[in-house]
Amino acid sequence: MENKSNKRKFKGVVVSNKTDKTVVVETKRLKTHKKYGKKISISKKFMAHDEENKCVIGDTVVIEETKPMSKMKKWRVTN
């Protein structure tokens, strides 16, 4: 039987690693405007759990949705 995962995954860049075991990852995506059809760049920041504190600013990482670890942290770094 296949193991299907409903967890969302995003690829982004680490923009901050100042807190212990936490990094801030910025993701970017393109969205089309409904009326005008123009492509719009949308960026969003997520706080993610980094158990070993190995991520540095500028790293490209994949984050995966997980159970809430704190008020703001609901993601973890997978690689």
- Domain coordinates of the chain in residue numbers? 17-77
Per DSSP, helices labelled H in 1-79 are: none
The CATH number that domain 17-77 falls under is 2.40.50.140
Q: What is the reported pLDDT for 1?
A: 56
Q: How confident is the model at residue 3 (pLDDT cuts 50, 70, 90)?
A: low
Q: Whole-prediction pTM value?
A: 0.84
Q: What is the reported pLDDT for 2?
A: 61
Tens of pLDDT, residues 21-69:
999 999 999 999 999 999 999 999 999 999 999 999 999 999 999 999 9
